[in-house]
Amino acid sequence: MLLGHEKICFINTPTPLEPLPTLSRELGVELWIKRDDLTNLGGGGNKLRKLEYLLAEAQAQGATTLLTVGGAQTNHGRLTAAVAAKYGMKCVIVCVDDDPGEVSGNLLLDRIMGAEVVLQKSDGRPEEEQFAALTAQVKARYEARGERVYEIPMGGSNVTGMLGYYECAMELTAQAKPLGLQDATVCCAVGSMGTYMGLYCGLKNEGSPLELVGIAISPFGEAKERRIVEYFGEAKAGLGLGIDAARGDFRIEKDYTRGAYNNPSEPVRRAIYHMGHAEGILLDPCYTGKAFAGLCDMIRQGRVRQGSKLIFLHTGGMPELYTPHHRVEMERELRPGVTVM
């Protein structure tokens, strides 16, 4: 029980907190990685922590079906599918996106785990409107068959979902201290904001000395600035937090979005190759690769002090590497190292 909310435990926490010795030497910082990519269901990733709390709420409401929304390659959809499969529930993933053609990456995994995926091409209306209409239509179809549908918002990012990362903040604080990392800065990718907000609230409300910086992976304009403040207000009220925060308190780097959500980008691919070569760890092109490329740039530009202690949160997302959208450029760049005898 955390702040009045139950969870259903299905992940192997604490996840490892590991040093990155080669990258630390190269970059002149003390760099560690928190392996939330190694969470043990459906390929792993950050959404599983949120889903432990969301599933408890769904079951308390007697739900038989989990419905969530996202892009065609949503990692959150894949992990919702995994949780539904494990707990004998149905799962439907509602996407406003182009048909990617190939059933690969997360989309393939969704189907392997038994989820239905409903894809509708954008008609140009505001995305929220389109999601609301399509979700209502799909939900009605499931309800007509006698299913009880529990709706999970984009990325699992509501007050219930963010509790998973509130808890992770406590876990990290406990892990960091014996390693001499109690004053380190935690760095995470920011998408639908639940991971960042959970960590922010957990660190501040529990009085942790760890610092937090988020790296936005898609353009972070005025609407998102407003949303982050509103989200904090929902968390404070919903969980009875004893802390306050204003707009300027949320440290989110906005210079590394590379123009758009999930766009192929050369610096991001270079960061993925760098992590792969140096440490044998696989990042993804949409979230963790973008965030890591941003962090490396901040270090090189001197925006992060040499010698700093940093904990990079690996939030998962690897299946995206296998999508044609990102694979084409990687194949072109990496083919020269394939020797055909």
Ligand X SMILES: Cc1ncc(COP(=O)(O)O)c(C=O)c1O
Contact call for residue 185 and ligand X (CB under 6 A): no
155 binds ligand X (CB under 6 A): yes
Site membership for ligand X, residue 316 (CB under 6 A):
yes
Among 5, 35, 76, 274, binds ligand X (CB under 6 A): 76
75 is an interface residue for ligand X by CB under 6 A: yes
* Region near ligand X per CB under 6 A, out of 194-202, 220-228, 262-270, 297-305: 194-202
Residue nearest to ligand X (CB): 317
Q: Which is nearer to ligand X, 128 or 183 (CB)?
A: 128
Paired sense of beta strands 17-19 and 30-35, if any: antiparallel
The answer to whether 45 contacts ligand X (rule: CB under 6 A) is yes
In the region spanning residues 222 to 241, those forming contacts with ligand X, defined by CB under 6 A, are none
Amino acid at 72: A
Nearest distance from C-beta of residue 159 to ligand X, angstroms: 13
- Interacting residue with ligand X among 11, 67, 189, 216 (CB under 6 A): 189
> Could you give the strand order of the β-sheet that contains 90-96, starting from the edge strand earlier in sequence?
116-120, 90-96, 65-70, 149-152
Stretch that binds ligand X, among 51-59, 139-147, 248-256, 310-318 (CB under 6 A): 310-318
Interface segment toward ligand X; rule CB under 6 A; list 18-26, 298-306, 312-320, 329-337: 312-320
Which CB, 140 or 319, lies closer to ligand X?
A: 319
Region near ligand X per CB under 6 A, out of 21-29, 89-97, 231-239, 282-290: 282-290
CB of 36 to ligand X, least distance (A): 9
Binder to ligand X among 68, 158, 185, 195 (CB under 6 A)?
Answer: 195
Determine, following the binding rule CB under 6 A, whether residue 208 of this chain makes contact with ligand X.
no
Instruction: Kindly state whether residue 39 participates in binding ligand X, applying the rule CB under 6 A.
Output: no
Peptide bond just before 14 cis, omega within 30 deg: yes
Tokens of 253: 């780097």
Between 179 and 229, name the residue whose CB sits nearer to ligand X. Answer: 229
Query: Is 317 near ligand X (CB under 6 A)?
Result: yes
The span from the CA of 143 to the CA of 119, in Å, is: 19
CB 331 to ligand X: min, Å: 22
Minimum CB separation of residue 296 from ligand X in Å reads 17
Residues lying near ligand X in the complex (CB under 6 A)? 45-46, 75-76, 155, 157, 189-196, 284, 287-288, 315-317
